[in-house]
């Protein structure tokens, strides 16, 4: 039986475990990346391991999230990360150089290599044939130290792309269609591989848009073949030597397949407040728009920006719409300036933001109250924009540009035609904003600011776990619900005690106080608990507040790993109907936990005098991590 692309890469990097669906496997990691919202904590964890230099082929620290400096906090974190990188063998991408995923695609990504990053959109690297996965900061720290990365061996899902896109129908519309088909839960437990005749019609930036938003499917990762299109992209980046051809075997077997006819696809939009709430732009035609934002790691490539410039050329944006763009990297911004496209965008009345994540993670550009915001981003969770009652739609750059001109949802298929945009044969290469590490970092001083606090430490698991049900939430709770982002909170990502004041603020503003009142406790959740970003703060902050276990109908992949890494017990109802029987503030007790950690655990509801059976089913390694009280304790014990 043949192998898929992902299976070939896994086989070449397998350190331990068996390639059977659901089995725990450990794989060697070639590259890591961090960004500043998660990086400080990851480097504190790496430092706690006592390892002098990273052991990966390449590790890169990016500054792209917390670039708004309204106080000393972000600047201090940047200084800390810069000195950590210089000392320990990590490349440092300075603020202003751009968004981690865009730059990594341009300058560092290599087909066939493994990459994990402390950001859930790390699968962007699948656009050039990398096995690229989002992970918690602790997992990244372990990989930097030479440890393997553990996942449950996933199933394989093939998306066959048929035909070719019409003009003004885009890669963004492809992934929105996949989300419509599969939902935000449909990729859980799968690696998504794109195949078919339509693949060769898509450039690397278009492929990266698709793999980027594979994170919204809950997938382990997404991947494209590495082919002549990939070679041309790497050659244009001056990196043709990094090219390796990668394709699946003709007799590879997939667990699931879907087909999308690109010829029939039309412009789509993800409606509030979920990336899988899909409608056609035609259905939304005529709806008033207040704001348009073009950028993010999903749609900030040179290709995207050139298309926007061509649509806006010689026109003026509607006076009732606030419009801004954020190019994905310094390379993109430089080339836009050199070819005159930036002038066209500015002349049309568009505001130009710095090359950073910015409004995608709530760092500025919040829409007006009850505003309708069209964004080329990847997430539209409630409140993520910074305006609680805003309606955020996810669209392609072409759809966004059309709305910017008219002030309303407008089908881009009705726009005047533009010339085909062709990527350059050679990109402008200037890596002067990437600081290499010191050859010998022994004399480099680590500089810390007062906002950097130690991370909370878990204690070894006990046989009986008692606690109050301090919170009960529904389905599809995101990491934004658990630990919000935004300009007011992100600067404190290295200060867990301060962050704890905002934990679950979207769901229950009294959650931190209830945790203090009851001495922590247990959280009850619905399906797909913890979807969204890779932020381990969604586990570390509850740990600080004394959360001992989370009991749900089901978990998102990265979050359940982060809970285990933090030493918080993740459990699921054997009978999902038992979820309805537990109420907030019921007194709960888990019994014989250590004995049954690899099977079923009994949850006693002391308030109602009831018992429920919970699934634990942790693998040998995950069970050992829990028994030690988290990954850091486990790693030190090794």
Q: Judge whether residue 638 has pLDDT over 80.
A: no
State the Cα torsion 357-360-361-367 to the nearest 10°.
130
Beta strands in 383-542 (DSSP E): 391-394, 434-435, 465-472, 521-524
Q: Is there a single domain that holds both residue 36 and residue 122?
A: yes
Position 580 scores a pLDDT of 97
pLDDT per residue as tens digits for the range 514-569: 999 999 999 999 999 999 888 899 999 999 999 999 999 999 999 999 999 999 99
Q: Is there a single domain that holds both residue 256 and residue 279?
A: no
pLDDT per residue as tens digits for the range 299-354: 999 999 999 999 999 999 999 999 999 999 999 999 999 999 999 999 999 999 99
The pLDDT-based confidence of 602 (bands split at 50, 70, 90) is very high
Is residue 436 in some structural domain?
Answer: no
* Interval 267-292 mean pLDDT: 97
Position 637 scores a pLDDT of 78
Which two tokens mark 140?
A: 């990244």
Catalytic residues: 64-65, 119, 379, 533, 535
How many whole angstroms separate alpha carbon 570 and alpha carbon 462? 14
Is residue 439 in some structural domain?
Answer: no
The rounded mean pLDDT for the chain is 96
Q: Is there a single domain that holds both residue 156 and residue 250?
A: yes
Sheet of 24-27: strand order equals: 14-16, 24-27, 149-152
Q: Are 266 and 413 in contact (CB under 8 A)?
A: yes
Position 617 scores a pLDDT of 81
Which residue segment(s) compose the domain that 317 sits in?
A: 268-414
Position 633 scores a pLDDT of 86
Q: Is there a single domain that holds both residue 371 and residue 504?
A: no
- Name the domain boundary from 207, 231, 261: 261
Q: Is there a single domain that holds both residue 131 and residue 235?
A: yes
Pairing between strand 58-62 and 91-93? parallel
Report how many helices (DSSP H) and strands (DSSP E) the chain contains, helices first: 20, 27
Q: Is there a single domain that holds both residue 245 and residue 311?
A: no
Residues in the chain: 638
> What CATH number has the domain bearing residue 486?
3.20.19.10
Is residue 124 in some structural domain?
Answer: yes
Position 436 scores a pLDDT of 97
Q: Judge whether residue 625 has pLDDT over 90.
A: yes
Largest CA distance in the chain: 72
Position 391 scores a pLDDT of 97
Is residue 424 in some structural domain?
Answer: no
The pLDDT-based confidence of 274 (bands split at 50, 70, 90) is very high
Q: Is there a single domain that holds both residue 200 and residue 306?
A: no
Q: Could you tell me the pTM of the whole model?
A: 0.93
Q: Is there a single domain that holds both residue 300 and residue 371?
A: yes
- Name the domain boundary from 261, 295, 312: 261
Q: Is there a single domain that holds both residue 251 and residue 279?
A: no
Is residue 355 in some structural domain?
Answer: yes
Is residue 447 in some structural domain?
Answer: no
Is residue 281 in some structural domain?
Answer: yes
Q: Is there a single domain that holds both residue 219 and residue 239?
A: yes
Q: Is there a single domain that holds both residue 214 and residue 291?
A: no
> What CATH number has the domain bearing residue 9?
3.30.499.10
- Name the domain boundary from 261, 289, 323: 261
Is residue 570 in some structural domain?
Answer: yes
Domain count, the chain: 3
Q: DSSP letters along 24-90, please? A: EEEE--SEEEEEHHHHHHHHHHHHHTT-SS--SSEEEEE--SS---SSHHHHHHHHHHHHHHHHHT-
Pick from 433, 438, 448, 435: which is nearest to 54 by CA? 438
Q: Is there a single domain that holds both residue 89 and residue 104?
A: yes
pLDDT per residue as tens digits for the range 231-246: 999 999 999 999 999 9
């Amino acid at each position: 039986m043949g192998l898929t692309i992902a299976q070939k890469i896994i086989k070449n990097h397998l350190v331990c475990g068996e390639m059977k669906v659901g089995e725990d496997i450990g794989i060697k990691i070639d590259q890591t990346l961090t960004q500043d919202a998660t990086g400080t904590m990851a480097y504190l964890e790496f430092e706690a391991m006592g390892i002098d230099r990273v052991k990966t082929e390449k590790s890169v620290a990016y500054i792209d999230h917390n670039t708004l400096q309204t106080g000393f906090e972000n600047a201090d974190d940047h200084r800390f990360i810069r000195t950590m990188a210089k000392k320990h063998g990590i490349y440092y991408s300075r603020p202003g150089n751009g968004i981690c995923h865009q730059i990594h695609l341009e300058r560092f990504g290599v087909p066939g290599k493994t990459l994990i990053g402390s950001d859930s959109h790390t699968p962007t690297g699948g656009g050039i044939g990398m096995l690229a996965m989002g992970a918690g900061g602790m997992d990244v720290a372990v990989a930097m130290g030479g440890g393997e990365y553990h996942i449950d061996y996933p199933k394989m899902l093939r998306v066959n792309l048929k035909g070719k896109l019409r003009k003004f129908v885009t890669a963004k519309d492809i992934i929105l269609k996949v989300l419509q088909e599969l939902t935000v839960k449909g990729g859980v437990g799968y690696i998504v591989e794109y195949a078919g005749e339509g693949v060769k019609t898509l450039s690397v930036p278009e492929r990266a848009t698709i793999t980027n938003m594979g994170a919204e499917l809950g997938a382990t990762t997404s991947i494209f073949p590495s082919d002549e299109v990939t070679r041309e992209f790497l050659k244009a980046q001056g990196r043709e030597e990094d090219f390796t051809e990668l394709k699946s075997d003709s007799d590879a077997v997939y667990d699931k397949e879907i087909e999308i006819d690109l010829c029939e696809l039309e412009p789509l939009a993800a409606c509030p407040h979920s990336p899988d709430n899909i409608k056609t732009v035609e259905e939304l035609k005529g709806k008033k728009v207040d704001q348009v934002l073009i950028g993010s790691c999903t749609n900030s490539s040179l290709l995207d920006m050139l298309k926007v410039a061509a649509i806006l050329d010689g026109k003026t944006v509607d006076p009732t719409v606030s419009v801004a763009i954020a190019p994905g990297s310094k390379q993109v911004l430089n080339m836009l300036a050199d070819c005159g496209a930036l002038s066209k965008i500015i002349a049309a009345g568009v505001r130009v933001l710095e090359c950073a994540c910015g409004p995608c993670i709530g760092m500025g550009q919040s829409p007006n109250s009850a505003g309708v915001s069209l964004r080329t981003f990847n997430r539209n969770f409630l409140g993520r924009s910074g305006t609680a009652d805003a309606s955020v739609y996810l669209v392609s750059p072409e759809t966004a540009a059309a709305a910017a001109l008219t002030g309303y949802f407008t089908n881009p298929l009705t726009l005047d035609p533009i010339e085909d945009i062709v990527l350059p044969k050679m990109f402008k290469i200037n890596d002067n904003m990437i600081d290499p590490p010191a050859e010998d970092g022994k004399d480099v001083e680590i500089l810390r600011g007062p906002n950097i606090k130690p991370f909370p430490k878990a204690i070894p698991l006990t046989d009986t776990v008692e606690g109050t049900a301090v919170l009960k939430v529904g389905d599809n709770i995101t990491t934004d619900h658990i630990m919000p982002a935004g300009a007011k909170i992100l600067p404190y990502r290295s200060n867990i005690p301060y962050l704890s004041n905002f934990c679950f603020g979207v769901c229950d503003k009294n959650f931190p106080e209830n945790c203090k009142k009851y001495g922590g406790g247990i959280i009850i959740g619905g399906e797909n608990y913890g979807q969204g970003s890779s932020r381990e703060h969604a586990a570390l902050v509850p740990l600080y507040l004394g959360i001992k276990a989370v009991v749900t109908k089901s978990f998102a992949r990265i979050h359940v790993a982060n809970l285990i890494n933090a030493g918080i017990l993740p459990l699921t109802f054997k009978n999902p109907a038992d979820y309805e029987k537990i109420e907030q503030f019921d007194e709960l007790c888990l019994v014989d936990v250590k004995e049954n950690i690899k099977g079923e655990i009994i949850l006693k509801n002391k308030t109602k005098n009831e018992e429920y059976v919970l699934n634990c089913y942790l693998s040998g390694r995950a069970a050992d991590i829990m028994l030690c009280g988290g990954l850091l304790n486990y790693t030190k014990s090794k």
